[in-house]
Each structure stands twice: as structure tokens, then as C-alpha cells.
Structure 1
Amino acid sequence: MKLTADQHDRSAAVLLGMACGDALGAGYEFAGPLPETTPVSMRGGGGFHWVPGEWTDYTAMAVPLAIAAAEGGDLRDDSVLDIVVAHWVAWAKSAPYAGVQLGAVLSGSEPNADSVRRGAREQHDRNGRSAGNGSLLRTAPVALAFLGDPVALAEAARLVSELTHRETEAGDACVLFGLALRHAVLEGELDIRVGLSALTSERRADWSTRFDDAERERPADFPGNGWVVQTLQAAWSAITYARGTDAGQVRRAIEVAARGGGDTDAVAGVAGALTAARWGLEAVPTTWRHLVQGWPGLRGVDLVRLSMQSAHCGTVGGVRADEVGLQRTVKLRALR
């Protein structure tokens, strides 16, 4: 499978759009909802005193996956995920916030995939739930890594989600988000329902109804958006409300999401990733592109490079982790 120039451009924008939404939304987390006329900006601050333009835990968790994908690693392979998880565990020790579910799982686990899975299962069994939104945005590099294979994409999205979030709702949301990103990159269309066929018939009906609700409501009508279902609903609501036939939809959707209140960094990150996947690099405002930055010392241009490399491997075919060689391992282990 060979990408066209337009598809290359759209794929390059995915992680950047996500990070910009995340960073802008961070300054408004739990501060809303805000009136529609309220100006919003990438101001930083918020409950965790983010630097202006700094992305949060959502994008940080995606970075090791993006590097692994960019180096040709198979994100379904535990030898790749072991390295990714090791960086998650190390990152969580100094992160300002890692989410309730993520923090509980990562803080009590050894730095490997099996240990984290066991921790997630134990956490789920204790609480009876694990459908927070912590695994959702890190699906973006998974989508890029499997642009050429939607079946493998759905499998990998669920597997990566289940590392920390065992509940079916979380896996469903990651599958739907990942397949919607793939569709936006390849077809230049926004369609959150494109992945419904990858779910069971019962789950498909539930999610279809949820998306119907999202298209009738505003983001502020989903105040429980720390729950992954409402995160995806609120993001789709923001995109629907910001609908248009021009690239300004990226800015509009992110700003609408940030005004919606609640977990605005997650909601705006989802909206940013999807709309950037539809409209491409030039649709992401220049000031945002220059300002966005975060763990582990990366900037917007680095995310663009990782997106392009991940999409390349996701279309020409990646290689197994044990065939990638020392270079990828060294790069991953260099993260701090």
C-alpha cells in the first residue's frame, strides 16, 4: 500500500493535532463549561501548572508507542511492549499526574507488559471498573502503525488498551477511535461510526446510540467525560458542532472541546487528532505548532516526524521486534 501525497500530509498531522488539543485543553481542565464566546488559548496552567504548550500524560503515554511504531516494531508483540511499558513505569514516577487507573497500575508494577497486565486485572477486580479514558489517546500511534491493516489495527488497539484498562468499554473506544483515525487519513473523511463493524452486534448498537446522542448534544452535556465513553462522545460532539468544509475545523473543534468543561485535555486531544487526520498539517495553527512541547523533551516537529515514520511502517509493513535491531532499542531506552 502506497500513500498519496494528501494521505502523507494527513498522517503527518495526527500526533501533532492530538498534542495541540491536549496542551490547549490542559489549561481548562475542570474549569468549565465556558460560554461559547469565551476566548481560549494554549495558556498552560490548570490544576497541574502546565507550561504554555505543554502536553499532558495523554500524549506522553503515546510517545513511546510512536517511537516503537516509527522504528518498525509490532505493537502486538510483548518484546516491543515491554520496552514501551518500562518507559511508562519510569515516567509515572515523576509525572505530575497519571490518572487514577494509570497511576494505580503503573506504580505497583514491574516494568514489563505482563506485570502491568496483571496489575490492571487486579485493579479492575478490586474496583469492578476500569473504563477511564487513560488508554484512549495513546491509540493514535497504533492507528498510524496499522494503516494498511484495519483488522490488525483493531486487535492492537484493544491489546494496548488492556495493558492498563481491562474493561470492554475502554477497548471498544480505542478500536473506534483508531479506525476513525485510519479512515480520516486514508479517505479524508470524518466518520466515528466506521469502526462499528469491528464490535459485537450488541456493542455496536450501544455505541451507535451514543454517537446519535453526541450529534444532538454539546460537549458540556457529557460532564462525566473522564469515562472513556463520554470522552469520545464529547469529542465527537465538538467535531460535529465545529463542522465545516474548511481546515479551520481543527481550531474550532479543539476550542469547542476546551469550553465543554471536565476532562478537557482528553476531549480536545481526541478532537484534535481526528480533525488533523482529516485536514492535514497546514490546518494546525502555526502558533500552536511552534508552542507545543512535552515529555520527553520533544516538540511539535518531533511528533510530525514520528507520525510520518509510523505511517510509513504501517503501510509498507513493519517487522517483528526481534528483527528491528539495536538501533530501535537504544532510541527507546534513551527516553527520560
Structure 2
Amino acid sequence: MNTVISVQDRIHGALWGALVGDALGVPVEFQSRQALRENPVTAMRGFGTHGQPSGTWSDDSSLLLCTVDSFTTCGKLNVHDLASRFVRWGVDGYCTPHGGIFDVGIATSEALSNLQNGVPPEEAGRADEYSNGNGSLMRILPVALWFLGATPEELMVSAQRASTLTHRHPRSQMACALYCLLVRALVQRVPPDKAWSQAVDAFAAYYERPPYIAERLHFRLIESGNLANQTERDIDSTGYVMHTLAAAVWCLLTSRSFEETVLKAVNLGGDTDTTGCVAGGLAGACYGMASIPPDWKSVLARHDDVQSMLARFLDRLPAPSAISQ
């Protein structure tokens, strides 16, 4: 199946998959795993935790779309433009589903305040160890797609730079870089297990130097090659960046379809919207646009606006010969 899905379809699927995964998780955010075992998410729901209508996406997708729009406008990673869009989101409700914000992480909120106060974009995110939430991982997907034709090193550096606007600790930067490597391999038609192995190998080779080498301890499970062999009880689904990354990849590696991947992610409980968003990006890159249930996509808030925004991004994407299929 994977060999007949075009690169373009995988790119499209990754973007829509992230939004769909986010929206599936919004109504049940913070619910326990046990509660979701008793009443699992099987389709789009409305209201719930945040009282939002069915198809509502969260800050995850808002900041992802800010990033999409910045690339489309600037034709490159421009951290100053990206910062201004993040501030517009926080102040004016730019790139929100219904014109206002209903959920924002602490680290992201502090970073927005720093940006408004004139702190340079790549210094706005906090760099302490307690600022390793998943707020940069959840929005990093467009970076992976824009730099598909770059070297692995260029991709990782770009992911790090984009992360620093809200999350500057090396661990968060590294998690974003590893996710981008995996997305790229999936889009390039590498099967999930091999894509993950390739991503980990490139990651390990690059981060063999300070200050990153000290952080490799926190990637032990991910680098071990045993992630897919873990049971559900071994997988955490909190807002910690390492938990979200491991959970999303585990869902991909232990599933056989887009639906199975994202529903497994959301039904882990906890930070359901972000786990769903991050896993949805991976599943869409793996299985393509056609794998996303049409009724899940059609109900998304501002569907037509989002479709236009993503179409403009796809039109502007660099198309190196190696991937322009």
C-alpha cells in the first residue's frame, strides 16, 4: 500500500492528519486512560473538556497553521515573521478555529510575553529543564515538510531554531529534530519501522556533542530499538515532550492504519489533543490523505479556510527532484 501513495499525498495527509488528531483529542483532554477505556473516542465528538463544538482544533493546530502561513509568505524559515504570527495568535486570535484562544501552555504563554516585550525570537523560549513541555513539538510539522530536500543536519538545525521561540531547552529542540527526521522518512515512502530506525541513526550521529550529548540519557527508550515492543502501560501520555514523542511514535509503530494510530493516541488519555496531533502528523505522512476518514476532515472548524491555507503552502513548497513526485 505504501508504495502507491505519492509524496504529495503524504505531505497533504500529514498536515490534515495533525489537525484531525488534534480535534479528536480536544473534547477529552485531561481524561484518564481508564475513563477512555470505558468510553473510548471512536469518532469526532463535541464539547467535553473545553465546551467546544465538534471539529474544533486547539493551540496545537493554531501554531502549526501560523508556521504554515509564515513559510508560505516568506518562502523560508523566518523566525521574526513566525514570532509576529505567534503574537497575533495570542493577542488577536489569528489562526484560531472560532476567533479566540481556549487553551495555551504555560511555557508558550511566557514566550509570547517575552516576544511582546522585545526579546529576540530565538531567545524567547525558556531554557530551563522544567520548560520541556510539548508546545514546540506540537507545531513543528511544517518545518519537516519545508526542508524535505535539505540535508539531515540542515533539517535538524531548522527544527531547533523553530523550537526556540517557545521551548529553548536542548531536550525540546532535539525532540523536534527527531520528529522531523521521522516525518521526512515517512513522506519519502520509507516503511514506519525502517523510517524510525533511519531517523534515530541520523539523530544519534548528529547529537554526539555538547550540549546535546548529556541529553541523550532522556532518549534511551527511543534510541533503544525497543519502543515498538512496549505495552500500553509502559507508555505515558502527559504534556512532557519526551512522553508525547514516545507515545506518538509508539502508536504509529504498533498500528496499521491512520484511524488506528490516531484513535490509539487519543485514547491514551492525558494530553489527548497534542498526542493526537503529533501522532496524526506521522500517520498522515505514512498512510496519505486518502486514509483520513472524510467525515473527520469535513467537520473541522474553518475547513475551507484551512484548505486554502494548506493549498498555498503546498504550492510554495520547495520541490527538489528527489521528492517532487
Decide: shared fold, TM above 0.5. Answer: yes
The CA deviation string for residues 258-282 of structure 1, in whole angstroms up to 9 with x for no partner, is 1101101111111111111011110
Q: Provide the residue aligned with 2:51 in structure 1.
A: 49
Which one-letter code corresponds to 1:24 in the other structure? L
Which one-letter code corresponds to 2:279 in the other structure? A
SS at match of 2:45: coil
The CA deviation string for residues 71-91 of structure 1, in whole angstroms up to 9 with x for no partner, is 45221xxxx322221121121
Q: Does 1:115 align with 2:125?
A: no
Residues of 2 paired with 1:49 and 1:314: CA distance?
41
Q: Provide the residue aligned with 1:253 in structure 2.
A: 261
Contact 2:31–2:270 (Cα < 8 Å) also in 1 = yes
Residues of 2 paired with 1:6 and 1:316: CA distance?
14
Deviation at 1:194, TM superposition (A): 2.5
Residues of 2 paired with 1:239 and 1:87: CA distance?
31
Contact 2:5–2:287 (Cα < 8 Å) also in 1 = no
Q: Provide the residue aligned with 2:17 in structure 1.
A: 17
Residues of 2 paired with 1:92 and 1:219: CA distance?
35
Residues of 1 paired with 2:312 and 2:220: CA distance?
32
Q: Provide the residue aligned with 1:322 in structure 2.
A: none
The CA deviation string for residues 172-205 of structure 1, in whole angstroms up to 9 with x for no partner, is 1100111111111112422334233234244557
Aligned match for 1:82, one of 69, 80, 83 = 80
Aligned match for 1:210, one of 214, 218, 222 = 222
Q: Which moved more, 1:197-206 or 1:177-186?
A: 197-206
Q: Does 1:102 align with 2:108?
A: yes
Residues 193 and 293 (structure 1 numbering): CA distance in 2 closer, same or farther, change over 3 Å? Answer: farther
Q: Provide the residue aligned with 1:233 in structure 2.
A: 246
SS at match of 2:6: helix
Q: Does 1:141 align with 2:142?
A: yes
The CA deviation string for residues 228-283 of structure 1, in whole angstroms up to 9 with x for no partner, is 000011112222332x2xxxx11111111111011011111111111110111100
Give unmatched runs, 5+ long, in structure 1: 318-336
Q: Any residues of structure 2 matched to 1:124-203 within 5 Å, and which?
A: 124-125=127-128, 128-149=129-150, 150-190=152-192, 191-196=195-200, 197-198=202-203, 199-201=206-208, 202=213
Which one-letter code corresponds to 1:313 in the other structure? P
Q: Which runs of 4+ in 1 moved over 6 A?
A: none
Deviation at 1:23, TM superposition (A): 0.6
Query: For the aligned residues, what is the CA RMSD?
Result: 2.7
Residues 111 and 70 (structure 1 numbering): CA distance in 2 closer, same or farther, change over 3 Å? Answer: farther
Q: Provide the residue aligned with 1:334 in structure 2.
A: none
The CA deviation string for residues 133-167 of structure 1, in whole angstroms up to 9 with x for no partner, is 00002211101111101322111101000111111
Contact 2:24–2:45 (Cα < 8 Å) also in 1 = yes
Residues 289 and 307 (structure 1 numbering): CA distance in 2 closer, same or farther, change over 3 Å? Answer: farther
User: TM-score scaled by structure 1?
Assistant: 0.79
Residues of 2 paired with 1:218 and 1:101: CA distance?
30
- Percent identity for Structure 1 against Structure 2: 26
Q: Which moved more, 1:197-206 or 1:179-188?
A: 197-206
Size of the aligned set, in residue pairs, is 297
Deviation at 1:225, TM superposition (A): 2.2
Which one-letter code corresponds to 1:130 in the other structure? S
Give unmatched runs, 5+ long, in structure 2: 92-99
